[in-house]
C-alpha cells in the first residue's frame, strides 16, 4: 500500500472489454486526457481484454505503447466478473475502480466516487442512475428492466443500495481483495454479488448520483442476463440461508433502534433474521418458475391467462415451501386452511401482475416479451413484500400456530412442531400442544 493521506494514493481504473475494437481507442484516450487534466491523484488505466476475437487486443497493445499510465492484460476466457477479479485481485493500487468502455457515465462523477474511499469514509462506492440528482437518457425497455431488477433485489434479498448494474464502481483495494474469494459469479452478476456480500459484512457503500446516457449499440443480451441474474439471486439466497455468505473482513458497527425498555435492541423483530433468507430463496425460485411457466404458456394463450395459470401453480408451491422452511411448520394439521389463506396472497399477486400487464399494453401496445417479463418482475416484487408480511403477521403468526392443539388428552397426536427464532440460538421449539402464546 501507498502512503496514506492524500495525493500519493494510487487509483487503478479497469476497463473490461470484449470485441470493442471500434470504440476502445477513443474511449481510453478520452479517459486518459480527462484524468491527466483534472484528477488530483496518481492513476493507472488497465484494459482487461477478456477473450476478444476481433482486433481489440491489438488496439489495447497500441494504447499501452503510446500512452503513459495505460496497461493492458488479456484473459483467455470471457466474463466481466472474471476480468475484474483478475485485475483487482492482483492490484497494488490503494483504490480500484471500473468503467464500461462506452463511458456512458459522465466522468465528472469519478472524483466524487473515489474521494470517500481515499479518505477512508467508505469501503465501496457505486454510481447510481436511480437516486435523486441523477440524469439518465435511455429507452423505456432498459429503464423498466433496470428498475424491476433493483426492486426485486430489495424485495427478496433486502438490498439497501439503489443501483446494482451501473458500470461505474470503485472500492478500497484491501477490502475488495478480502471479498473476492467469497464472490462466485464471473460474469454480469459479479457486481451485485459483491455489493450484497459487502452489505452482509457491514461495509459502507457510498452512492453517487450520475449523469448517464445509454449506448444504443450495446450488445448485452438482456433476456439471458436477466435469467442469469435470477439464478445468481437464488444462489445468494441459498448461501444466506446456510450462513455461508460471509467474508473475512471486518464491518462497521451499525446503530440499532432502541427497544421498548430503552435498551438497544435487535435490528429486526424476533425470528425475522432467520425467516428472511429462507423466504428470499423460495421467492426467487418461485419467481423464476413463474416466469418460465408464463413464457411457455404464452405459446398457447394470451398474457392475462398465462399469468393467472402460472401464478396458481407457483403459489401452491410457494405457500407449502414457506410453511415448511420459512416458518418451520410441519405435519398436515391445518395445511389446507393455510393453503386457502395463501390463496388470498395469490389473488393479490394476480391483481398486481394483471393490472401491471394491462397498464403496460395500454401504454405500449405490442410491447415485446422481454418487457412483459420485466413488468411481471416488478409486480411480483411488490406482491412478495406484502406476501411476507401477511404470512408472518397472519397465516403463520405464532399466536395462531400456538393454538393448534394436538388433541384432548394426547399431547402428541399429530400436532405441528413450530420453531421461532430467538436471539440466543435462532431455533426454539414452541410448545404448540399447550396452546400458549409464542413470542
Dist CA 418 CA 432 (whole Å):
7
The number of folded domains in the chain is 2
Domain membership flag for residue 431: no
For the record, the C-alpha cell of 221 comes out as: 443480451
Residue 54 shares a structural domain with residue 122: yes
pLDDT, residue 217, reads 63
CA distances from 279 to 227, 275, 351 (A): 20, 6, 21
Residue 277 shares a structural domain with residue 133: no
Residue 67 shares a structural domain with residue 189: yes
pLDDT, residue 406, reads 36
Residue 283 shares a structural domain with residue 225: no
pLDDT, residue 237, reads 84
For the record, the C-alpha cell of 323 comes out as: 410453511
Residue 278 shares a structural domain with residue 338: yes
Domain membership flag for residue 127: yes
Write down the H helix ranges in 97-244: 110-119, 140-157, 173-179, 190-200, 222-242
Dist CA 242 CA 325 (whole Å):
12
Domain membership flag for residue 408: no
Domain membership flag for residue 428: no
DSSP state of 57: H
Q: What is the CATH number for 187?
A: 3.90.550.10
Residue with cell 405441528: 416
pLDDT, residue 289, reads 87
- 3-state SS of 159-171 is CCCCCCCCCEEEE
Dist CA 225 CA 232 (whole Å):
10
Dist CA 300 CA 209 (whole Å):
44
Domain membership flag for residue 422: no
pLDDT, residue 270, reads 57
Q: Are 215 and 104 in contact (CB under 8 A)?
A: yes
Q: Which residues span the domain enclosing 197? A: 11-137+163-229
Residue 25 shares a structural domain with residue 82: yes
Domain membership flag for residue 180: yes
**0.75 exceeded by the pTM?**
no
Mean pLDDT split into 10-residue runs, the chain, 439 residues: 58 97 96 97 97 96 97 95 97 97 95 96 95 87 80 81 93 97 94 95 95 74 75 86 84 48 44 75 82 88 86 86 85 83 74 74 75 73 73 75 44 33 35 31
Angle between helices 272-297 and 140-157 in degrees, nearest 10: 140
Strand partners of residue 125: 170, 206
Dist CA 387 CA 319 (whole Å):
10
Residue 277 shares a structural domain with residue 213: no
What are the pLDDT digits (tens) for 317-342? 888 888 888 888 888 888 888 888 87
Domain membership flag for residue 325: yes
- CA-nearest of 142, 117, 114, 138 to 127 is 114
pLDDT, residue 161, reads 92
What are the pLDDT digits (tens) for 133-156? 999 888 777 787 788 888 878 877
295 sits in which H/E element? helix 272-297
Residue 200 shares a structural domain with residue 338: no
Residue 280 shares a structural domain with residue 222: no
Residue 44 shares a structural domain with residue 184: yes
Domain membership flag for residue 199: yes
Residues 6+ apart with CB under 8 A from 148: 374, 375, 377, 378, 381
Judge whether 191 counts as a catalytic residue: yes
Dist CA 189 CA 105 (whole Å):
20
Residue 95 shares a structural domain with residue 171: yes
177, 204, 229 - which closes a domain: 229
Residue 322 shares a structural domain with residue 198: no
Catalytic position from the list 68, 191, 214, 228: 191
CA distances from 360 to 34, 231, 296, 385, 417 (A): 42, 26, 20, 22, 45
Dist CA 22 CA 215 (whole Å):
13
Amino acid at each position: 500500500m501507498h502512503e496514506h493521506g492524500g495525493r500519493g494514493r494510487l487509483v487503478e481504473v479497469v476497463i473490461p472489454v470484449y470485441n470493442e475494437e471500434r470504440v476502445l481507442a477513443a474511449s481510453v484516450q478520452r479517459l486518459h486526457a480527462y484524468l491527466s487534466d483534472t484528477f488530483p491523484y496518481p492513476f493507472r488505466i488497465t484494459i482487461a481484454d477478456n477473450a476478444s476475437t476481433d482486433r481489440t487486443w491489438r488496439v489495447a497493445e497500441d494504447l499501452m505503447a503510446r500512452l503513459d499510465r495505460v496497461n493492458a492484460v488479456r484473459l483467455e476466457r470471457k466474463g466481466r466478473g472474471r476480468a475484474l477479479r483478475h485485475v483487482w485481485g492482483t492490484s497494488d493500487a490503494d483504490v480500484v475502480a471500473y468503467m464500461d468502455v462506452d463511458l456512458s457515465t459522465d466522468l465528472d462523477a469519478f472524483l466524487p466516487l473515489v474521494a470517500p474511499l481515499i479518505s477512508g469514509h467508505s469501503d465501496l462506492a457505486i454510481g447510481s442512475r436511480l437516486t435523486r440528482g441523477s440524469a439518465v437518457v435511455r429507452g423505456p425497455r432498459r429503464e423498466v428492466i433496470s428498475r424491476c431488477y433493483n426492486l426485486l433485489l430489495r424485495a427478496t434479498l433486502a438490498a439497501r443500495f439503489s443501483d446494482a448494474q451501473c458500470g461505474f464502481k470503485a472500492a478500497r483495494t484491501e477490502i475488495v481483495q478480502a471479498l473476492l474469494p467469497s464472490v462466485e459469479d464471473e460474469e454480469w452478476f459479479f457486481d451485485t454479488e459483491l455489493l450484497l456480500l459487502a452489505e452482509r459484512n457491514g461495509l459502507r457503500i457510498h452512492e453517487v448520483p450520475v449523469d448517464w446516457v445509454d449506448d444504443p449499440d450495446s450488445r448485452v443480451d438482456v433476456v439471458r442476463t436477466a435469467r442469469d441474474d435470477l439464478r445468481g439471486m437464488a444462489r445468494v439466497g441459498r448461501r444466506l440461508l446456510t450462513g455461508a455468505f460471509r467474508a473475512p473482513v471486518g464491518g462497521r458497527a451499525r446503530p440499532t433502534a432502541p427497544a421498548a425498555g430503552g435498551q438497544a435492541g435487535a435490528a429486526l423483530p424476533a425470528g425475522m433474521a432467520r425467516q428472511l433468507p429462507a423466504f428470499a430463496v423460495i421467492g426467487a425460485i418461485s419467481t423464476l418458475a413463474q416466469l418460465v411457466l408464463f413464457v411457455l404458456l404464452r405459446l398457447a394463450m394470451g398474457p392475462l391467462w398465462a399469468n393467472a395459470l402460472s401464478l396458481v401453480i407457483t403459489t401452491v408451491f410457494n405457500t407449502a415451501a414457506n410453511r415448511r422452511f420459512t416458518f418451520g411448520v410441519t405435519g398436515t394439521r391445518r395445511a389446507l386452511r393455510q393453503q386457502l389463506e395463501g390463496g388470498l396472497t395469490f389473488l393479490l399477486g394476480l391483481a398486481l401482475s394483471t393490472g401491471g400487464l394491462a397498464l403496460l399494453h395500454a401504454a405500449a401496445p405490442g410491447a415485446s416479451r422481454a418487457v412483459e417479463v420485466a413488468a411481471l418482475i416488478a409486480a411480483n416484487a411488490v406482491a412478495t413484500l406484502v406476501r411476507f408480511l401477511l404470512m408472518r403477521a397472519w397465516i403463520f403468526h405464532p399466536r395462531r400456530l400456538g393454538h393448534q392443539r394436538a388433541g384432548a388428552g394426547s399431547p402428541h397426536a399429530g400436532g405441528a412442531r413450530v420453531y421461532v427464532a430467538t436471539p440466543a440460538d435462532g431455533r426454539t421449539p414452541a410448545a404448540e400442544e399447550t396452546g400458549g402464546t409464542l413470542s
